[in-house]
Amino acid sequence: MSHPRTAPARALVGAALALAVLAAPLAAQKKGDARLEEATKLVRKPQEGDLRQGAFLCAEIDSVASIELLLDILGADQPHRRDIVWEALPSFTDPAARARVREELAKNKKNERTRQWCAQLLGLYGDAESVKELTKALGDKFGDVRAAAAQALGRIGDAGALKALEKAADDKEYAVRAYAREALARIDAAGHGDALREGLADGEAGVRCFLLGCVPELLPDEVLALSGPALADPDWRVRLQAAQNLGAERSREAVDALIEVSGDPRPIVASGVRASLSKLTGMAWNKPEQWKTWWAGEREGFDPAVPRAPKASDDGERTVSVRYNDLPVESDHVAFLIDVSSEMKARLKSLQGTKGEAAYGELSRVLGLLEGRLVFNVFAYDTLAAAFEEGPVELDAKTAKKALAFVEGAHARGAKDIWNALLTALGDTELDTLYLLASGEPEIGLYVHHNRITEHLRELQRFHKVVVHGVAYTDEDWYAKQIEEVCKATGGEFRRVQ
């Protein structure tokens, strides 16, 4: 039995504990509110560093309110800010925050880009709860939304999406068809592998190239059977992808098939064939007859399962005889993307004149060296990207003079949109190599920071196979880094002029 004098004290202790229990969630709420308030202040500041700090604080808070701060920026007009918040958005794990992204996909009728990016996010999250909204998005009016939804459904891997994807596999937009067929095979290779196999006969070469690139992962036992015939495809992109597939197929039959096409008339394909043969055999011949002679004596005793370090070629040939801004010119179907933004009026320490004058002089020099050996085009870009011809032309004295006059007449003007310049050049599927000359990072465009440009460029590469070499005329490390990362995304080389 309690002592009469201790009962009031115990009552006071009990009340204090009760108040403490009630105060704990309030304190946590105040702390959360304080962090959200801090994040709100940071993301509204104009400096990119503050925005990045605020965006990652939003991801740490991981709530509906914090993701809404970033979705507002994602749906706005400032591309630099959009690209920065995208760095943090994939990090959200809270189910309610992710549900908010699904809601945005479903209800945002005004901004198709926001819908596209929300579909992309849902694919990165990988939640089965998103399948319903993503299957609805396969009916979106905007093709890029449908493509993002199809890719996302493939990443999630839920069989509930199969019926909708089967319909999307025949979409009028080639990218939607490609992602839908990939998704079907990814979700159920045994039951829907034919979606991928049949897509290898698609009328659009980009789709054939894309799906052939999926074969090693999704149909690994059929690499040789599906890639071998593709070495004879009329489109260079498909042949190059087939050669790259076979480079990992350690069998005598793969070597047989590659040696047969080692003289492909397209230099970039022939180079890809030689690279795959080198991986398989350890040899590094440049001429088809060298490969055939060597293989005739080696085939029967050759063990393709043993990895071999490639040897240096011993035929004494140099495959690179001309360099543009110290970048190798090995292809015969190229485009030069020349920055004509206002920044090209500036000077650099190592240049005699302006950046624009240096760019003109280097192009003139290289065109003179390559006359009669090149199919080419030239794009002068700032806000827009204009081509000197509607399609690539043979390089001769007349077309060289016309191209140089075109560049000379494109006087330095507004801000530059590198993403648009790349898209414009990629629109010509005859071109396999781009030389991007830039005065630094882009100021405007759908995507401007390298995280977003490279992310989407890698996806386009699955259709196009174009290599981007780049040179940056800039003193700024950050600006140079942007161009360097674009080149890395395609396997291209980068140079900097200061």
Q: At what angle do helices 205-218 and 450-464 cross, to 10 degrees?
A: 100
pLDDT of residue 31: 60
Residue-level pLDDT at 69: 98
For position 17, what pLDDT does the model report?
Answer: 46
Of 304, 314, 263, give the one whose Cα is nearest residue 287: 263
pLDDT score recorded for residue 311: 67
How far apart CA 391 and CA 30 sit, in angstroms, is: 62
Domain spans, the chain: 233-312, 323-497
Instruction: List the beta bridge partners of residue 347.
Output: 354
- Would strands 323-324 and 327-328 be described as parallel, antiparallel, or unpaired? antiparallel
| Per-residue pLDDT in tens (0 to 9) along the chain, 498 residues | 444 444 444 454 444 444 444 444 545 455 668 999 999 999 999 999 999 999 999 999 999 999 999 999 999 999 999 999 999 999 999 999 999 999 999 999 999 999 999 999 999 999 999 999 999 999 999 999 999 999 999 999 999 999 999 999 999 999 999 999 999 999 999 999 999 999 999 999 999 999 999 999 999 999 999 999 999 999 999 999 999 999 999 999 999 999 999 999 999 999 999 999 999 999 999 999 999 999 999 999 999 888 777 665 544 444 558 999 999 999 999 999 999 999 999 998 887 789 999 999 999 999 999 999 999 999 999 999 999 999 999 999 999 999 999 999 997 778 999 999 999 999 999 999 999 999 988 999 999 999 999 999 999 999 999 999 999 999 999 999 999 999 999 999 999 998
What CATH fold (topology level) applies to the domain 323-497? Answer: Rossmann fold (3.40.50)
3-state secondary structure of 57: helix
